[in-house]
Structure 1
Amino acid sequence: MLIQNHQVDLDTPTGTMRTYVYRPRETAETEHKQFPAIILYSEIFQQTSPIRRSAQIMAGHGFIVLVPEVFHELNPIGTVLGYDDAGRDKGNADKVAKHLEAHDSDTQSMVDYLNTLPYYSGKLGAMGFCLGGGLAYRAAMHPSVLATSCFYATDIHSGLTPSQTGNDSLTRTKDIRGELQMIWGKQDPHIPAEGRARVYQNLVEKGVNFTWHEFNGVHAFMRDEGDRYDAELQLLGYQMAIGLFRRVLY
């Protein structure tokens, strides 16, 4: 499926949020056709080339994909942080500076935008990597989100992304109503075995409909740049996510 893209600046309670939109290309075959949507949350580096390629892959399988600048309040529009020490330090500082409640309002702004699109079917999913995996988990608490795929989601177990008392993601897990897919690397130092176990037990206790997948991989194995990239696991990860979204959203 051929795709097209554009960008839109959305108003949020914390400022303008540049959002990148990828979707099936308008053709005679797709005219008047509606598609489900996926909000794709990036790593702390915002929309890097690997994140853009992820969005293109998902859009090419028949989804409208929105990629927000997750730290829009803290950086000039269009900021992309590097996969280096400086970028990592800046991204981690931004993560601590922005509360989960601001990410919640960002999600609502994207839901509102999608509802204005004539080619949106009204069925919504969420997906993310690293920080974005945690934000996708958070988005799963929105009543519009029917399916969510989280890749090596950071900060759920540790609470490193700040929030108001009693509004952290572990506590709010009971609000997840759709289907959840959790994908991890066993050799990921950012989410050790005890952290994964805490997330798993919480999902069981809260009665969430979820599947759980652990692979022999390190952190960021889906990112097709750098020495942690695992092409075999990446292909498997996309197949799993696409399978979930096609089953639930179509």
Structure 2
Amino acid sequence: MVITQETHDIPTKSGTMRTYLYRPDTEGQYATIIFYSEIFQQTAPIARAAAILAGHGFVVLVPEVFHELNPPGTVLAYDDVGKDKGNSDKFTKPLEHHDSDTEALVDFARSLSFCTSQLGSMGVCIGGHLAYRAALNPDILGAFCLYPTDIHSNTLPCQPGNDSLSRTADITAELMLVFGKQDPHVSSEGRKLIYAKLEASARNFSWLEVNAQHAFMRDEGERYDPAIALQMYLKAVAFFQQALK
């Protein structure tokens, strides 16, 4: 399926958020996936991932997750400088601002003639956390979370008791969580903590652990695992075709 790409500046409660939109280049209405990036924002690997999803018949929105802290269009490099800046942004922006960003993205999607009312969320790394967090919004019907960081550790700024793990019982969306067993950012103990919370709160979730490192989806760098990444794209497409039907 041939796709087209657009750029939009969306108003949010914490400022204007540049958002990149990918969609099928054909008439019709399509379900929407909000795709949350790593700390580096929309890098080339993130853009390619969004294009893959859109090519399977979805509208994909890629917001600049730290729009309050950077000029529009900022992309951080996959180096120590970029990593330090991205981590600083991650530990500066409160989760409540991410919540209002999601609200703005839902409203934006529903204003578009080529979008249905069905929305899901997906993300990698901090974006996996944000996809999980987005599922607190009742308009999100499914969340596909790839190696989500900082859920188990409660290290992101937020109001007391408003961290994502503590709010798990408030999620009504279907969830899919995928972790790499060799990921140092989410230990075995951390994964078990998340799993136990999901099970104790009787959430509708699926769980997968693969033999891969952190950022195994990123098609740049030595940690990329093409075979597993392809499997995850196929799983994500099938997941959203069911959850957003």
Is the aligned partner of 1:82 residue 2:77? yes
The aligned amino acid for 2:9 is D
Whether 1:233 aligns to 2:232 is no
2:90 matched to which residue of 1?
95
Partners in 2 of 1:248 and 1:15 — Cα distance? 31
The Cα of 1:248 is off from its aligned counterpart by 1.6
In the aligned structure 1, how far is the partner of 2:77 from the partner of 2:143?
27
Q: Which runs of 5+ in 2 are unaligned?
A: none
Q: Do structure 1's residue 205 and structure 2's residue 205 form an aligned pair? A: no
Counterpart-to-counterpart distance in 2, 1:181 and 1:92:
25
Aligned positions, number? 245
- Give the letter for the 1:112 counterpart: D
Match of 1:4 in 2: 4
Residues 89-113 of structure 1, C-alpha deviations (whole Å, 9 max, x = no match): 0000000100000000000000111
- Letter of the 2:21 partner, please give it: V
The runs of at least 4 consecutive aligned structure 1 residues that moved more than 2 Å come to none
Give the letter aligned to residue 130 of structure 2.
L
Q: How does 1:1-250 map to 2 (within 5 A)?
A: 1-26=1-26, 31=27, 33-250=28-245
Q: Distance in 1 between matches of 2:115 and 2:67?
A: 25
Across the aligned residues of Structure 1 and Structure 2, the Cα RMSD in angstroms comes to 0.6
The residue type paired with residue 10 of structure 2 is L
Name the SS of the counterpart of 1:171 in structure 2: coil
Counterpart secondary structure, 1:156:
coil
SS at match of 1:208: coil
Q: CA deviation digits over 1:143-172, x for unaligned, max 9?
A: 011111000000000111111011100111
- For residues 110 and 63 of structure 2, the distance between their equivalents in structure 1, rounded to whole angstroms, comes to 16
Task: Kindly state the Cα deviation for residue 121 of structure 1 after the two structures are TM-superposed.
Answer: 1.0
Which ranges of structure 1 fall in alignment gaps of 5 or more residues?
none
Structure 2 distance, partners of 1:137, 1:97, is: 19
Superposition deviation, residue 247 in structure 1: 1.2
2: distance between equivalents of 1:91 and 1:102?
16
**TM-score normalised by length of structure 1:** 0.97
2:50 and 2:85 mapped to 1: Cα distance?
23
Q: 1 CA distance for matches of 2:89 and 2:243?
A: 33
Q: Secondary structure at the match of 1:66?
A: strand
Deviations 1:74-133 (A, max 9, x none): 001000000000000000000010000000000000011111111111000100000000
TM-score by length of 2: 0.99
Give the letter for the 2:33 counterpart: I
Amino acid at match of 1:8: H
**Aligned-partner Cα distance in 2 for 1:224–1:144:** 31
Q: Distance in 1 between matches of 2:202 and 2:158?
A: 23
Shift of 1:135: 0.3
Question: 1:13 Cα deviation (Å)?
Answer: 1.1
Q: Deviations over 1:161-194 (max 9, x none)?
A: 1110111001111111111000000000000000
Q: Aligned with 2:189: secondary structure? A: helix
Deviations 1:52-86 (A, max 9, x none): 00000000000000000000000010000000000
What secondary structure does 1:198 align onto? helix
Distance in 2 separating the partners of 1:139 and 1:246:
18
